[in-house]
Amino acid sequence: MYNVIRFVSTACLALTLGAASLATAQTMGAETAPQTTEDGIVTVKSAYPMAETIARLKKDVANKGIKFFIEVDQFKLAEDAGIKIRPSTLLIFGNPPLGTLFIAANPLAGLDWPVRLLVFEDEKGEVWTAYTDFGYIAHRHQIKGMDTEAFQKASGVIASITSSVKAR
């Protein structure tokens, strides 16, 4: 029963995050350069269809030796609930020795760790990736006194991962 409750909670969170990120990206236009909104959401347009984008991202995560936790197919969850949304998948992965530093600095940072990378299709059929900027996460959770090198490293890694699908 606990696993079902945990899955449903995760699915609800994923759908909520997906909807918010989708609304943000729909206003982004056809820009191919990564865009960051004032609420810390970074969007990167993909050069590939949805399935290939997900496969490439997961391969890049694996090639970097990063632990992959789960893939949440939000489109399928919505469909099973009788709700129609555009394709949307949440990928959750991370490097525990790095990510848990943020949680050690403030346990509430666990709301943003491990890393969540959303892959979704907009109304034009274009595929995007979206994640929360790590500087924004540090600010949100008032993580201070921690070496900024960890945030810079995390930012560099996610930028590298999303560059594996970035439209040129």
Per-residue model confidence as pLDDT tens digits over 126-135: 999 999 988 8
With 90 as the cut, is the pLDDT of residue 6 above it? no
Does residue 56 lie within any of the structural domains? Answer: yes
Q: How confident is the model at residue 148 (pLDDT cuts 50, 70, 90)?
A: low
Query: For residue 79, what is the domain's CATH number?
Result: 3.30.310.70
Lowest mean pLDDT among 28-32, 115-119, 143-147, 154-158: 28-32
- Does a structural domain hold residue 6? yes
Q: DSSP alpha helices (H): ranges in 64-147?
A: 74-80, 96-105, 134-140
Phi, psi (degrees; rounded to nearest 5) at 15: -65, -40
Q: What average pLDDT does range 148-162 have in this prediction? A: 85
Check: pTM over 0.85? Answer yes or no.
no
Domain count, the chain: 1
pLDDT of residue 165: 97
According to DSSP, residue 58 is labeled H
Question: Does residue 168 fall inside a structural domain?
Answer: no
pLDDT of 1 higher than 60: no
Q: What is the pLDDT of residue 122?
A: 97
> What per-residue confidence (pLDDT) applies to 32?
62
Which pair of structure tokens corresponds to residue 109? 């940072």
Whether pLDDT at 107 is above 80: yes
Quickly state the pLDDT bin for 115 (edges 50, 70, 90).
Answer: very high
Kindly give, in sequence order, each residue whose CB lies less than 8 Å from that of residue 17, ignoring residues fewer than 6 positions away: 90, 116, 118
* Interior angle at CA 136, CA 66 and CA 154, nearest 5: 20
Mean pLDDT of 85-101: 93
Answer yes or no: is 116 within a domain.
Answer: yes
Enter the tokens of residue 80.
């099973």
Domain interval for residue 37: 2-163
Higher pLDDT residue, 23 or 139? 139
